[in-house]
Amino acid sequence: MNQTIQANPPEPRVLVETSRAVPLVTLSVTFTQGSVLDPEGLLGLTRLTGRLMRRTGGGLSADQIDTRIDTLGASLGVDVTHSAISFQGTCISRSIEGYVDVVKDVVAKASLSEHEFNKLKSESQAELLSMLDSDQSVARHWFRREMFADHPYGRPTGGTLVSVPKLQHGAAVEHAKRTIRRGNLLFAFAGDINPEQAQRFAADIAAVVPSGASPEVEIDEPRFVSGRQLVVVDKPDRTQTQILIGTRGSHPKDADHTALHVANTVFGGTFTSRLMHEVRSKRGWSYGASSHLAYDRRRQPLSILTFPKAEDAAPCIELQIQLLEQWCEAGITQTELDWAKNYLIRSHAFSVDTASKRVSQKLDEVLYDLPKGYHEEYLANVQAVTLEQANQAVAERISPKDLLIVVVCTEKLVGAQLQAIVPNLEHYKVIPFNGEVQTETKT
């Protein structure tokens, strides 16, 4: 039995997907404002506050809470995105009552102790430092920062090694008061639970969350990169590079979003896409090669990821630009369109094969301001895309003249080749992988 309950305000909004396949219940308690609420200069505050709540629920210590959760056969994490703070986890269904008590303590009765705040801050700094070991994480971090520049989407949700040490306990306490509000609450339950139980648990939790709503933050549409920009993130001893190429993408509210999604499936969305075929299958240059259209409340970029060895980085970028230009100029073929539609329609079964995936789709519709019925109508919308629509969407939305190219590599090995290979390059910038901008030149 699958059911969605959309209660009338001021009742909490509760999404439910029931399945008895395994004796597990997945629960998500989401507040519909995320790290865009970080005050100026205090990047990472929302995430730190969410994590502090997770560790001080019910006035307990972090150890006591973790012990309670583990004993129940459960998990509970905090996911902070630009658009939401979400406490989510899973429990063995026999423990659901105790689990809801823990969640209630976390979202509404956290002590936010200063002692734990200081520990958490130190831990967060250590995690940010560890992240520098992952080249792909470093590439993604700088890609977002450079792509969105001063827009809130360019701010790292976890903060930076500069911002996190400046965060103060008092600011976290105040931030929790502002953001953890009943008016922003959204519940999602999936698995071995019926709608009546879910409604009861949600009401139980909501009753102890302070009333009111968090301040509305109006987010402008991002202004995407203009011209071609190359950003080299310099890291010593790299035999390989991590390359992210991006340009303006779309939002599901755009009329041509589905058409662009189908066309992107041909370009870089599958193992047999054009990108994968040219970069990996024919040339063996990169283990992975894919393009991706993400969504949030406002438009996101189209991003293309490859990771060739240092010697192949320049020709690999050159090839990707050529492929992008061909895609925009000539579009895709009818055969490619038919193939992509078959793939998307048939593989959709794996987007809805568990209760937790189904409820996540419903949650996304609310969180990311998707068109009503976006997921329910997805198959029909894909089926309806024509060749003309797909190619028009690519031609109008994607601009190969306006590209951000972020490369994590050892600059002294490949920097000059990269600069030389990108036609009409307007800006070249080198950023040390563990710091701020080092040099900036205009070519």
Partner 1 sequence: MPQSPELDVDVTRESLLEQANLDAPEGGKIKFLERLPFGKALTVDRYQLANGLMLLLIEDHEAPVVAYHTWFNVGSRHEQVGKTGLSHLFEHLMFNESENLPAGEFDRKMEEAGAEVNASTWLDWTQYSSSLPKGQLLTAIPLEAERMAHLVLKPPQLNSEKEVVANERRFRVDDDVDGAVNELLWATAFTEHAYRWPTIGWMADIEGFTTEDCLGFYRTYYAPNNATLVVAGDIEPKVVLRAISQSYGPMPRAVLPLEDVRPEPPQTSERRISVEKPTQTEKLVLGYKSPAFGDFDYPALSLLGEVLAGGRASRLYRRLVRELELASEVRISVGPFRDPSLFELYVSAREGHTAEELLAVVEEELLRVREQPVAQEEMDRALARNELSLLASLETADGKASTLGFYETVLGQPTSAFERLAMERKVSSSDLRRVARRYLVDTQRTVVLVRVKDDDDDLEPNSSSDSDVEAA
The residues that touch partner 1, with contacts defined as CB under 8 A, are 19, 21-24, 62-63, 66-67, 69-75, 90-92, 119, 122-123, 126-127, 129-130, 132-135, 235-240, 270-272, 277, 280-287, 307-309, 339, 342-343, 345-350, 352-354, 356, 434
Q: Quick one: 168 or 434, whose CB is closer to partner 1? A: 434
Tokens of 421: 């290979």
φ, ψ at 249 (rounded to 5°): -110, -130
**Least Cβ distance, residue 262 to partner 1 (angstroms):** 14
**Least Cβ distance, residue 236 to partner 1 (angstroms):** 5
Helices 387-397 and 313-330: angle between axes, nearest 10 degrees: 130
**Least Cβ distance, residue 79 to partner 1 (angstroms):** 16
Q: Quick one: 17 or 365, whose CB is closer to partner 1? A: 17
**Least Cβ distance, residue 130 to partner 1 (angstroms):** 5
**Least Cβ distance, residue 253 to partner 1 (angstroms):** 27
Tokens of 39: 């005050």
**Least Cβ distance, residue 22 to partner 1 (angstroms):** 5
What is the C-alpha separation between 228 and 226, in angstroms, rounded? 7
Q: Quick one: 8 or 349, whose CB is closer to partner 1? A: 349
Q: Quick one: 184 or 381, whose CB is closer to partner 1? A: 381
Please say whether the beta carbons of 144 and 81 come within 8 A. no
Using only C-alpha atoms, the chain has a radius of gyration, in whole angstroms, of: 23
Q: Quick one: 47 or 182, whose CB is closer to partner 1? A: 47
Q: Quick one: 92 or 366, whose CB is closer to partner 1? A: 92
What is the C-alpha separation between 150 and 43, in angstroms, rounded? 12
Q: Quick one: 148 or 285, whose CB is closer to partner 1? A: 285
**Least Cβ distance, residue 105 to partner 1 (angstroms):** 16
Name the pairing type of β-strands 24-31 and 185-191.
Answer: antiparallel
DSSP string, 24-55: EEEEEEEES--GGGPPTT-TTHHHHHHHHHHH
What is the C-alpha separation between 384 and 374, in angstroms, rounded? 14
**Least Cβ distance, residue 311 to partner 1 (angstroms):** 11
Tokens of 115: 């002692």
Q: How many CB atoms lie within 10 A of CB 289?
A: 28
Tokens of 1: 């039995």
- Give residues with Cβ within 8 angstroms of 88, minimum separation 6: 26, 27, 28, 29, 30, 76, 77, 78, 79
Q: Quick one: 179 or 241, whose CB is closer to partner 1? A: 241
